[in-house]
Structure 1
Amino acid sequence: MDGHTVGVVGGGILGLAVARELTRRFADIRVVVLEKEDRIAAHQTGHNSGVVHAGIYYRPGSLKAELCARGRALMREFCREHDLPYDECGKLVIAVDREEMGRFDALERTATANGVPGLRRIGPDEIKDVEPHARGIAALHSPRTAITDYPAVARQLARDVESAGGVVRLSTAVTDVHRAGRGSRIQLATGAGVEHVDHLVVCAGLHADRLGRRADGQEDPRIVPFRGEYLRVADAKRDLVRGMVYPVPDPRYPFLGVHFTRRVDGSLEIGPNAVLALDREGYDVRPGLRLADAAATLAHPGFWRMARTHWRTGARELRGSLSKRAYLRAARRYVPDIGPADVVRAGAGVRAQAVARDGSLVDDFVVVSRDGVTSVRNAPSPAATSSLAIAEHVVGAMGRMS
């Protein structure tokens, strides 16, 4: 790849991590990051919970399991090298009744197989030692689960790219991708003109399907956006949770359930839920509607197949979105002393969830490489945790193409 120009579409944490890895691995290439917004980390990177996951949930042997473990170690090292926040405040995954114990036991086996550092199973008394205001009959304690500031990480990645001679272009939306023929240079249409590159990496997040389809011609999977809404706990109650308190997740879904998460600024949040989003970039407290995004979701056959299977869960999540009391009903099973009067709505994130044509929710990371184009087609949580390791994986695949 020496002497080539590599274009990276997307100025979130993943695109910037890939660009940085390219500058580190190849001395004689030109790297250009193209970001449509006027700032980096404007979308998923800037609207997530800041958790650095330890690998509890992911199917052993999957890309998620492998890259989360590697990514957590790299993120810890990166934050310490650059004096960025990194707080191993720990996590409890709590079972509150006997009906959950089958899922709890299975989760423990998964976490153990993934080598989650320091993991231990504890009972009610030890739950109180770790989180005095939490309740449950059993918990998995992950002391190395951490929190960080991912937008700050992204800004440092951008500085690293630029200091190595790369370019980060803001307010440069890629609107189309053309190629005259196999092996020819790739032409990117942008609002600022045409950019020619020899290799292209698409890390477009919420628009991964749209740009990926233009770049590699593949229709599947499609992105169905899910809005994750947060509540912020009042200062008077925020110290009732020291670290993180999570429920035992339902393995049928790639969502972890409403949970308590401490932020690096000391605040405490509850969330996110998972409600169908009608705007791929709708981060306001009130849900938005973008007709093109809603139409794309409704036109996807996989969405309707998914909806028929999971409509009851969707209805329950919608009730929580409309009512703080309903939202907190699940959360108070774990920390009952925080009620509706103790929280305010605190904005939202939007998860780019890939859904296959058959209606299945794509769980693992999906990276497609072909003929000079690498598209990251599915990179939900723990993508931020795994970003530096995903970058190694992506750049490795590109090296095999060259």
Structure 2
Amino acid sequence: MMESVDVVVVGAGVVGLAVARHLAIEGRSVVVLEREDAVGTQTSSRNSEIIHAGIYYPPGSLKARMCVTGRALLYRYCADNTIAHRRTGKLIVATDRDQLAALDRIADRAHANGVGDLRRIDRDELAELEPEVSGVAALWSPSTGIVDAHGLMRALRRDAEQSGAVVSLRSAVTTGRIRPGHPIELTVADIGEIACRAVVNCAGLGAWALASSLTGFPTAHVPRRHLAKGNYFGLRSGRAPFERLIYPVPVDGGLGVHLTFDLGGAARFGPDVQWVDRPEHLVDPTRADAFYAAIRRYWPGLPDDALQPDFAGIRPKLTGPGEPAADFLVQGPADHGVAGVVNLFGIESPGLTSCFALAAHVAAAIDGDPLR
């Protein structure tokens, strides 16, 4: 007999686990299907682990709303569940006077998004805060921080399972069938078929393939996928002479090669934007020269031969080179007309920060009443 549940969540990254937790706490029966042999092995574990404040995104966009709401929820959850995190704060640095207007635009956008603690500082205060940083002015964001992404995902999985959800690893969805008036049927490798009232596609880089594999789902609603690889480099030895995260003014496709560090204090730089045709996670060592140039704009004291490849991640994007950055795309029945299907496309940064807010948004979208 075919197993039947209320909701199948496909993908056990940070957003998929947050969605499963939210739905299980609501009392729905939930199964999470993850094709890998562990949770969060892709985008969720290959990023800067930043808790974003909500500064950069267009006012009213899903990214802006989910980030600002999600940031408060994430800090609270980390504090309540003893998940390692720290409010480091960050500086967005204008390295020459030509970038001052860009700082003003960033500040205006942040204010429109409800980020009320962003503050402009001058060269002297910047030098006082971070003597090794070279810049003419900066924006100080005290709400930005870092989090142990793996610790967060372990806690989300624990909460989901304690609320009745089942997380099934090595469980790749191969096909699905949608018929009006019937449960959605998914075929899962090595398991068989599962019937569900709703399926939430949180498959990250695989979200496009999953949506296309659902017989009965209109392929016109599957957008084009673009892949942007982000390379990260670390320091070969020693510690970076900074107490705060250091960001440049944003560049096309990303936020620029910034300096962050993990909770142990190890510095890393990235990501850059390298458009690729297929997902692969090896750092491209030929990018090092561009990293030195980018970093030395705000840290001229970076020594020669100080960088070494660290890791790389792939951002699932909805727009390509030279195009304006796209918003998160959360498609529910109200958007595509297919009952019980919610697709999440283009969940890149600030997806980790937004995970709790996105979970609530998805729960509403399942029933055809997405938050607006």
TM-score, reference length from structure 2: 0.92
**Counterpart residue number, 1:58:** 57
Aligned counterpart for 1:190 among listed residues 168, 188, 191: 188
Aligned to 1:201: 200
Conserved 8 A contact 1:187-1:196? yes
RMSD over aligned CA atoms reads 1.9
Deviation at 1:359, TM superposition (A): 8.4
Letter in 1 for 2:73: L
Q: 1: CA distance between counterparts of 2:233 and 2:359?
A: 32
Where do 1:3-82 residues align within 5 Å?
Answer: 5-25=6-26, 27=27, 29-82=28-81
The separation in 2 between residues aligned to 1:129 and 1:203, in whole angstroms, is 44
Q: 1:217-247, CA deviations, whole angstroms, 9 ceiling, x for partnerless residues?
A: 23442221111001102342x2312121111
Cα distance in 1 between the residues matched to 2:171 and 2:38: 11
Provide structure 2 residue ranges, at least 5 long, that are not aligned to the other structure: 334-338
Is 1:387 paired with 2:355? yes
**Contact conserved, 1:87 with 1:264, CA < 8 A, in 2?**
yes
| Structure-2 separation of matches of 1:225 and 1:339 | 32
Which structure shows the higher helix fraction? 1
Q: Aligned pair in 2 of structure 1 residues 326, 128: CA closer, same or farther (>3 Å)?
A: same
Q: Which runs of 5+ in 1 are unaligned?
A: 287-320
Q: Is the 8 A contact 1:207 1:223 kept in 2?
A: no
Cross-structure match for 1:399: 367
TM-score (norm 1): 0.85
User: Are 2:210 and 1:211 equivalent residues in the alignment?
Assistant: yes
Aligned pair count? 358
Equivalent of residue 309 in structure 2, options 345, 351, 359? 345
Alignment match of 2:294 (pick from 323, 330, 336): 330
> Counterpart in 2 of 1:355?
319
Match of residue 145 from structure 2 = 146
Runs (4 or more) in structure 1 with deviation over 6 Å come to none
Letter in 2 for 1:234: R
Offset at 1:323? 4.2
Query: Does residue 1:364 correspond to 2:327, yes or no?
Result: yes
**Secondary structure in 2 matching 1:330:** helix
Q: Tell me how far apart the structure 2 counterparts of residues 149 and 140 of structure 1 sit (CA, whole Å).
A: 25
Deviations 1:23-46 (A, max 9, x none): 122x2x210000000000100001
Q: For residues 172 and 304 of structure 2, what CA distance do their matches in structure 1 show? A: 41
Pair 275,131 (structure 1): closer, same or farther in 2 beyond 3 Å: same
CA distance in 2 between counterparts of 1:323 and 1:30 reads 47
After superposition, what is the alpha-carbon deviation per residue over 1:272-317, rounded to whole angstroms, capped at 9, x for unaligned?
111123432x22335xxxxxxxxxxxxxxxxxxxxxxxxxxxxxxx
1:297 equivalent in structure 2: none
State how far apart, in whole Å, the 2-side matches of 1:398 and 1:75 are: 23
Q: Where do 1:56-135 residues align within 5 Å?
A: 56-135=55-134
Alpha-carbon distance between aligned partners in 1 of 2:72 and 2:94, rounded to the nearest angstrom: 28
- Percent identity, aligned pairs only, is 37
SS in 2 for 1:339: coil
Give how far 1:361 is off. 5.0
Shift of 1:118: 2.1
